[in-house]
Structure formats: C-alpha cells, structure tokens
Amino acid sequence: MKNKTSFYGNITATLSGAGLIGACCTNLFGSSVITVYSTPDDSSGIDGACPGSYVGLVSYTQPLPAWGWSPATNTTTFTAANGGGRTDIRIQFVGEYGDTGCSFTNVTVPDPATSPSYIFAVYFKNAAPTTNYPIVLTGFNTNN
C-alpha cells in the first residue's frame, strides 16, 4: 500500500491504496481512498431538510482548474464518508453540473455519475471542531 500526502492551501489530502500514484496528485487506477482534511468554518444556517440547521461546516474543494474530485474509472462506487467520528453531522456533495446529495454519515454519488467533478461539505449540528476535519473519499481521483 502506498501513501502520498498533498497540500491544497488549507486542505491536506492523503492517498492510500493499491493503485499507483503518479506525479503530485493523480490516482491512475481509481483504487485509492483519499482522506481530505480542511479547516472548519463556524458559520451557521438552515438549508432545507438536509443538511437542515447547522452551526458550522467544513468545505472540501480544490483550486482551479480542478475544482473538485472526479469519479475514477474502473469503479462503480463513489462515496464520501465521515472521517472524524462525529455523529452530529450531515455530508453533502455538489456536482459540477448541479446534481446534489446529502445524508448522515456518508453519501453516495450515483453510478453513472452525472458530473465530471464533485465537491463536498460536512455540516455540524453542534459546535464545529476547532481543528482540521477529515472526509474520506472512495472512488475519486484527485484531479490535481
């Protein structure tokens, strides 16, 4: 198993898996799990039934031109899962073409994926964490 850590401004991504990782951040075979850490934002709001009301969030994006993470080839499962163990969260994905999904501890992008790239957010029902919070992406490339 290979590991590769890459830095995207305030985001740190750790790649691990059986696939080769070439250059800085490319998962060539789509078999890796990507753990991404990002800085919490203590903004609050209400956004429909899911995520509903929240007191903090963490957004996971990449700098342009990548914007987000693309579904990998050679797989049919695309998930974003809670990497920090909190139970008071909702996870949301937003596709480049506007498709969205939201759920409790993990969210699955349908196969075949509608968009070429996805960004993610974790919403907190109680106090937002004070340190970087992880999300675990399965079936995605880093695009960077």
Residues 14-68 have pLDDT tens digits of 333 332 222 223 333 445 799 999 999 989 999 888 999 999 999 999 888 888 9
Q: For residue 144, what pLDDT is reported? A: 57
pTM score, two decimals? 0.78
Q: Which is nearest to 109 in space by CA: 64, 69, 82?
A: 69
For residue 95, what are its two tokens?
């596709």
Residue 69: how many other CB atoms lie within 10 Å:
28
CB-based burial label for 16 (10 Å; 0-12, 13-18, 19+): middle
Count CB atoms within 10 A of the CB of residue 32. Answer: 27
Statement: residue 11 has pLDDT above 60: no
Query: 65-69, 77-81, 84-88, 95-99: which range is least confident on average?
Result: 65-69
pLDDT for position 10: 38
The residues, ordered by sequence, that sit 6+ positions from 130 with a Cβ below 8 Å of its Cβ are 40
Q: Out of 3.30.450, 2.60.120, 2.60.40, 3.40.50, which CATH number does the structure's domain 2-138 have? A: 2.60.120
Lowest mean pLDDT among 51-55, 62-66, 118-122, 131-135: 62-66
